[in-house]
Amino acid sequence: MDEQVPRVVIGMDPHKRSVTIEVMTAEEAIVGSGRFGTDLDGYGRLLAYARQWPQRVWAVEGRAGIGKHVADRLVADGEDVVDVPAKMSARVRIFATGQGRKTDATDAHSIALVGVRMSGLRPVVSDDQLEILRMCVDRRRSLGEEHVRKVCQLHKLLLELIPGGAKTFLSAAQAKELLKKVRPTTAAGKVRKTHALELTEDLAPIYARTKAADKELTALVAETGSSLMDLHGIGPSGAARLLVEVGDITRSPDRNHFASWTGTAPVDASSGEHVRHRLSRGGNRQINRVLHIMAVVQLRTRTTEGRAYYDRKKAAGKTSMEALRCLKRRLSDLVYKAMLDDLAGHTTTGPGGQLGDDSDSSATGSQPAAGSSDKPLPGPAAPKTRTPLPAAS
C-alpha cells in the first residue's frame, strides 16, 4: 500500500496562529493543501492530515524566525524538516507566478517548489546546547540595548541640569555623585533630577545582569569547545553570536562564500570596460556587526596585525573606510578558518599568537597576499550537497 503513495514535500507558510501548507510530489503535482491553526487542536489536525503520506518531508520557511515554533514541534514529533530561506522562496514565487504579489497559498506553493527542486537545504535538528546559547546571547543583546537607551536618557537630563553635561563614558555611581551637587531651583529642574536619579537606580541592576550574562556566555562558549574568543576583538557575545548564526560552517564551501554571507565581500558592479566594486549591504548583518567590532578593537591597539594591515592599506592609497572594509574582509577569513579548525578538532597558532595558519593566506597574517582581501562575491556555487539530507524527491 505504501509503495503506491508518492513521496511528497509539504511546503509550509507559517504564521503565529496559523499555517498554510501545500503537498507536492517529485513531479511537482499538487496532491493536497490546507490551512490549520497552531493551537493543540489545529496542530493535531495538521499531523493527521499529513500522515496520509507516509514518505514526507516538511519544508518550512523562516525556521529561525516566525517558523521556529512549528518547526521545533515537528522535529520533536519525529518529522523530517528542512529550512527554506525566505529569499529563495520569494524568488521562486516571482518566477512561478509571474508577479510578486503574496498570498498564503502562493507562499506555500513556492516553498514546496523549493523543497522539491533544491538539494542541500539545511535540516532542522534539535540542539539544546545551541538553543540555550541563542537565548542567552539574545538576552545579552537586549540588556545592552536597554543599557544604552537609559544612558542616553540620563545624558540628556544631565545636559539640562549641568552646563556642558557629563563625560561620555559615565557609570551609574559617577552620575549619582554629579547629581548630589545639583540644586535645581525650578519645579521642572527638580523633576529632571528625580528622573535622573531613577535612571541611575535602574542602571545598577542592568549592569549587574550584564556582567552575569557575560560570565554565563563565556562558560557556554567554552563548553562548545570553540576557540573564537582567542581571536583578538571577539568577546563572549561575539563568539556566541557567531556560533548561533553560522551553525554548520561547512555550509560555506570556501572563505569567499563565507565573506559573501557575512556581507564583507565587495560586490562586483563592473560594466563593459569600467571595472568597479561597491560596498555590500547584504549578508548577515549581525555577523557583520561582530566583525566590525572586532576590527575596531584591533585598530585601537597599535601592536595588532590588524592595525598593521590597516596602515598598509592606508599607505597604498585607500581611504579610512575602504581600509576598514578590507580589514573586515580579512577578519572574516580568520573567523572562517578558526571555525573550520574547531570543527576538525585541532587548532594552530598563527602570527602574533592569533589562531590561524601562518601562511600568507592567513586573514591577518603579517604579509597578506596582495588583493586577496578585495575579492568580490564568489561566482555561482558548485551544485553539490554539503549536508546529508533525506532526499525530498
Per residue in 290-336, pLDDT (tens digit) is: 999 999 999 998 888 999 999 999 999 988 998 999 999 999 999 99
Residues 6+ apart with CB under 8 A from 237: 137, 140, 141, 144, 214, 217
Mean pLDDT of the region 108-113 = 92
Structurally, the chain folds into a number of domains equal to: 3
192 or 356: which leads in pLDDT: 192
Query: Residue 130: pLDDT above 80?
Result: yes
136 part of a folded domain: yes
Residue 100 confidence class, pLDDT cut points 50, 70, 90: low
Neighbours of 382 (CB within 10 A): 9
380 part of a folded domain: no
Task: Give the pLDDT confidence score for residue 363 in this predicted structure.
Answer: 37
Among 147-151, 239-243, 349-353, which is the least confidently predicted range?
A: 349-353
Query: Residue 111: pLDDT above 70?
Result: yes
244 part of a folded domain: yes
Which of 224, 246, 270 is the last residue before a domain boundary? 224
Distance of alpha carbon 331 from alpha carbon 161, whole angstroms = 44
5: which 3 cell numbers? 503513495
Among 68-82, 185-199, 359-373, which is the least confidently predicted range?
A: 359-373
The verdict on 51 and 108 lying in the same domain is yes
Task: Give the pLDDT confidence score for residue 291 in this predicted structure.
Answer: 95
The verdict on 236 and 363 lying in the same domain is yes
Residues 6+ apart with CB under 8 A from 99: none
53: which 3 cell numbers? 503520506
Mean pLDDT of the region 124-151 = 91
The verdict on 105 and 12 lying in the same domain is yes
Under 8 Å between Cβ of 364 and 311 = no
Task: Give the pLDDT confidence score for residue 1 in this predicted structure.
Answer: 41
Distance of alpha carbon 263 from alpha carbon 289, whole angstroms = 10
Collapsing DSSP to helix, strand or coil, 13 comes out as: strand
Residue 96 confidence class, pLDDT cut points 50, 70, 90: confident
Task: Give the pLDDT confidence score for residue 238 in this predicted structure.
Answer: 95
293 part of a folded domain: yes
Mean pLDDT of the region 15-32 = 93
Task: Give the pLDDT confidence score for residue 207 in this predicted structure.
Answer: 93
Percent with pLDDT over 70 in the chain: 85
Please choose, from the candidates 36, 61, 40, 46, the residue with its C-alpha nearest in 3D space to the C-alpha of residue 124.
Answer: 61
382 part of a folded domain: no
Q: Domain of 287?
A: 231-374
Query: Residue 389: pLDDT above 70?
Result: no
The verdict on 15 and 112 lying in the same domain is yes
The verdict on 366 and 291 lying in the same domain is yes
CA geometry: angle at 293 spanning 151 and 259, to 5°?
145
The verdict on 160 and 82 lying in the same domain is no
15: which 3 cell numbers? 504564521
359 or 283: which leads in pLDDT: 283
Under 8 Å between Cβ of 266 and 279 = yes
> Helix H segments across the chain?
40-50, 68-76, 86-97, 104-117, 128-161, 172-180, 187-224, 236-246, 255-262, 285-300, 305-315, 320-344
Please choose, from the candidates 301, 291, 315, the residue with its C-alpha nearest in 3D space to the C-alpha of residue 363.
Answer: 291
The verdict on 34 and 20 lying in the same domain is yes
Sign of CA dihedral 62, 222, 329, 362: negative
217 part of a folded domain: yes
206: which 3 cell numbers? 542592568
The verdict on 189 and 254 lying in the same domain is no
Distance of alpha carbon 92 from alpha carbon 42, whole angstroms = 28
Percent with pLDDT over 90 in the chain: 58
